[in-house]
């Protein structure tokens, strides 16, 4: 049975950067508060004419180029997002058309910040069972469109961006295991409390915004991520010291530090982009991965642990040999 191996990474960020100082002019906050509580210094925010799929298209082309494959060889597209371009069709299908690909399955996954790990987990199964040989996996978001720019508790946290990877069947190595979970009882700690079939009036009134009980989310996130680290290591009978790189979801530097501590890892082995990108939800892990691959930190055959936690609650991990 073949492994599913990441053979190329790509990412794209909107040019427009909003700093903490910029936010000081919009809400009652300070650069110091944001840095101390979250580690964030700036975030990229899409222009009105940029969409989740337009960012994803750039990231996908870069990933395919890095993998050295022809876009026409892609036989599966899985797109993680909570901020799709349209209610339907899926962003994966819109992306597929923009890339000039026809006929292969293309669908979206909605697991908020854990979306990329969920997508990778699904693609791993497709490749292992022989249903796909070259898959495009995308995490892309324009969270700035569902942020209430008057709510200081949330607007300082999020950013926009896209990351993509090409995953190919490989006889030697690749994804070692994936672990995904969810628990819907926490729905209201982190949600957009309206949609098409519920509270639609709120959507029509222009109030479809993120609501989060940050403090409670924080506690569950730290605890849950600690447990998924144990689950992943046990499943692979590996030691903490076997992991070369932690590539975590970038929600908050304090959550990342807690996970690194749990793994006895030096911060030199942890990829951190939250300072520059903020929380880009499903895009954060592939954005971080691409940054560390392109600057030469992550090298072939190193062992990476990807982990994420997000709305749902959802959480998950992927252990892989790059
Ligand atoms: N500037 C200044 N003060 C602020 C700001 C701000 N931007 N935001 C909140 N405050 C105030 C609060 O009003 C509160 O004031 P009070 O004590 O007078 O009531 C005080 O700061 C402390 O607020 P807390 O919410 O307790 O602050 P906390 O230390 O928990 O940090 C944060 C908040 C950064 C949101 C943190 O809780 C967090 O990161 N939570 C986890 C977020 C997360 O991981 N989400 C999951 C992924 S996201 C996804 O799935 C979409």
pLDDT mean values, one per 10 residues, the chain (322 residues): 96 98 98 98 98 98 98 98 98 98 98 98 98 98 98 98 98 98 97 97 96 95 94 96 97 95 94 98 98 98 97 98 98
Ligand 1: distance of its center to the CA of 215 in Å? 6
Residue 252 makes CB contacts below 8 A (sequence gap 6+) with: 37, 38, 39, 157, 218, 274, 279
Count of C-beta atoms within a 10 Å radius of residue 30: 14
Ligand 1: distance of its center to the CA of 111 in Å? 22
23 Cα nearest atom in ligand 1: 7
Give the closest residue to 277 by CA, choosing from 149, 159, 142. Answer: 159
Dist. CA 158–CA 164, nearest whole Å: 19
Range list for CATH 3.40.47.10 in the chain: 3-172, 176-321
Give the closest residue to 290 by CA, choosing from 136, 205, 163, 190. Answer: 163
Nearest CA to ligand 1 atom 46: 310
Nearest CA to ligand 1 atom 41: 218
CATH topology of domain 3-172: Peroxisomal Thiolase; Chain A, domain 1 (3.40.47)
Instruction: Please provide the size of the chain in residues.
Output: 322
Dist. CA 250–CA 303, nearest whole Å: 19
The whole-number pLDDT of residue 171 equals: 97
For a pocket test of ligand 1, which of 37, 139, 248 has the largest count of ligand atoms closer than 8 A to its C-beta?
37
Specify whether 249 is catalytic: yes
CATH topology of domain 176-321: Peroxisomal Thiolase; Chain A, domain 1 (3.40.47)
The whole-number pLDDT of residue 1 equals: 86
Residue with tokens 């720019």: 149
Residue with tokens 């030469």: 296
The C-alpha torsion from 145 through 150 and 156 to 157, rounded to 10°, is -50
Dist. CA 247–CA 320, nearest whole Å: 11
Lookup: tokens for 210? 């993120």
In this structure, are residues 20 and 275 in contact, taking their beta carbons and an 8 Å threshold?
A: no
CB within 6 Å of ligand 1 — which residues?
A: 29, 33-34, 37-38, 112-113, 152-153, 156, 190, 214-215, 217-218, 221, 251-252, 255, 279, 281, 309-311
Give the closest residue to 183 by CA, choosing from 148, 231, 220, 140. Answer: 220
Ligand 1: distance of its center to the CA of 254 in Å? 12
Catalytic residue among 20, 44, 113, 277: 113
- Interhelix angle 253-262/214-236, nearest 10 degrees: 30
User: Across the chain, where does the E strand assignment appear?
Assistant: 3-12, 17-19, 42-44, 76-80, 106-109, 134-142, 160-170, 175-182, 190-191, 211-212, 245-248, 303-310, 314-321
Residue 44 makes CB contacts below 8 A (sequence gap 6+) with: 13, 14, 15, 16, 17, 18, 159, 160, 161, 277, 278
Specify whether 244 is catalytic: no
Question: What pTM was estimated for this model as a whole?
Answer: 0.97
For the chain, first and last CA: distance in Å?
18
Nearest CA to ligand 1 atom 9: 153
Dist. CA 120–CA 132, nearest whole Å: 13
Cis? peptide before 148, omega within 30° of 0: no
Ligand 1: distance of its center to the CA of 306 in Å? 24
């Amino acid at each position: 049975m073949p492994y599913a191996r990441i053979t190329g990474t790509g990412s794209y960020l909107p040019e427009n950067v909003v700093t903490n100082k910029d936010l000081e002019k919009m809400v009652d906050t300070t650069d110091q508060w944001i840095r101390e509580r979250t580690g964030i210094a700036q975030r990229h925010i899409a222009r009105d004419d940029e969409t989740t799929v337009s960012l994803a298209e750039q990231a996908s082309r870069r990933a395919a180029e890095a993998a050295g494959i022809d876009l026409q060889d892609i036989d599966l597209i899985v797109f993680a997002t909570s901020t799709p371009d349209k209610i339907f069709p899926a962003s994966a299908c819109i992306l597929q058309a923009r890339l000039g690909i026809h006929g292969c399955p293309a669908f979206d996954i909605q697991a908020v910040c854990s979306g990329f790990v969920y997508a990778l987990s699904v693609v791993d199964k497709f490749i292992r069972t022989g249903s796909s040989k070259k898959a495009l996996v995308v995490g892309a978001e324009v969270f700035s469109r569902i942020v209430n720019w008057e709510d200081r508790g949330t607007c300082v946290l999020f950013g926009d961006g896209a990351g993509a990877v090409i995953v190919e069947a490989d006889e030697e190595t690749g994804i070692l295991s994936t672990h995904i979970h969810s628990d819907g009882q926490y729905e209201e700690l982190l949600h957009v409390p309206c949609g098409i079939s519920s509270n639609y009036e709120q959507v029509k009134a222009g109030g479809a915004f993120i609501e989060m009980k940050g403090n409670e989310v924080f506690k569950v996130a730290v605890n849950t991520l600690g447990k998924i680290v144990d689950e992943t290591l046990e499943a692979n009978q590996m030691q903490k010291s076997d992991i070369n790189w932690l590539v975590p979801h970038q929600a908050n530097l304090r959550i990342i530090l807690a996970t690194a501590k749990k793994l006895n890892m030096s911060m030199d082995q942890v990829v951190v982009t939250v300072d520059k990108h903020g929380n880009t939800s499903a895009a954060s892990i592939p954005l971080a991965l691409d940054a560390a691959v392109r600057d030469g930190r992550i090298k072939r055959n190193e062992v990476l642990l990807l982990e994420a936690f997000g709305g749902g609650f959802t959480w998950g991990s992927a252990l892989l040999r790059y």
